[in-house]
Structure 1
Amino acid sequence: MTPHAERWAFRAVVGLAGLVPVGGGLYGVLSGAAAFDGASSAALDSHVRYLSGLLLAIGVAFWTTLGRPERYGRRYCLLTAIVVAGGLARLYGAVVDGAPPPPMLFGLAMELVVTPAVCWWQTRIACSAAQVR
């Protein structure tokens, strides 16, 4: 794959993958704790909406790199660290409390597999762009 084609493929993957946190974040912000099974309280609802806002912002932060992804290595590393930390917390919960529903397992795979792979790919694109200069 040519470097130009690889950049376009990367942009497409990040753009599509960004739908997960943006969509999930918007859903949580708009629905609150009512989006999940069980009774909710004002405290739980507030916490769900706050964390959903963070999720939304993470997705938007990834999207803001799409113009020139090779320039945003530090941002990719920071966002990946944040996402992996959340994934590890989710994994801990799955071990302690049992597996969550399938949509949350999908999120776990995004957090612990896809996002680190995207970060690695961004580094590869940045190194390739640096060699061209």
Structure 2
Amino acid sequence: MAIACLVPLITGGQSILFGPGFLGHAREIPTDLDSHFRYISGIFFAVGVAFATCVPGIEAKGPRFRLLGALVVAGGLARVVSLVAVGVPSKGHVFGLAMELGVVPLLLLWQAGFAKRWDARSS
């Protein structure tokens, strides 16, 4: 789980600092688009921080973990809308989609099972 937190922390942090240029796009993009990109990147970074706070004592942090997971899955579904409307994005974004709609749901299932086993062992 801690390793998975590195994705939004590193990617979000670099996107905040370097804007869309982080993705290799021309720096001459509309100011509003840059602003929106960095805003969304800040939210992505904050989600990474919030997930990291779940690592210690993850067995007891189900509600927070599920909320954060739901946010990530919602972002993945929005990415699917882009994929259908505009086309397949770069490899990095396809990796993000796999994390959002594959890895995160699996982590949610893992956490729920771990919490159940922890509760059964504690009782």
Common fold: TM-score over 0.5: yes
Instruction: State the 1:34 CA deviation.
Output: 2.5
- Give the one of 25, 28, 32 matched to 2:12: 25
Instruction: Could you tell me which runs of 5 or more consecutive residues in structure 1 were left unpaired when the two chains were aligned.
Output: 1-13
Shift in Å at residue 33 of structure 1? Answer: 2.5
RMSD between aligned residues: 1.0
Map of 2:3 onto structure 1: 16
SS at match of 2:84: helix
* TM-score normalised to structure 2 length: 0.93
Shift of residue 118, structure 1, vs aligned partner: 0.4
The partner residue of 1:77 within 47, 51, 66 is: 66
C-alpha separation in 1, matches of 2:76 and 2:83: 10
The 2-side partners of 1:27 and 1:35 are apart by 7
Give 1:80-95 correspondences, 5 Å limit: 80-95=69-84
Supply the distance in 2 between the matched residues of 1:27 and 1:94 (Cα, whole angstroms): 23
2:98 aligned residue: 109
What SS does structure 2 have at the residue aligned with 1:24?
A: helix
Percent sequence identity is 42
Residue aligned with 2:103, SS: helix
1:43 aligns with 2:32: yes
CA separation in 1, counterparts of 2:72 and 2:54? 16
**In 1, Cα distance between equivalents of 2:29 and 2:72:** 25
Q: Does 1:61 align with 2:50?
A: yes
| Equivalence for 1:11 | none
Indicate if the aligned counterparts of 1:34 and 1:40 stay in contact, CA closer than 8 A: no
User: May I ask how many residue pairs the two structures share in their alignment?
Assistant: 120
Give unmatched runs, 5+ long, in structure 2: none
Matched letter for residue 22 of structure 2: A
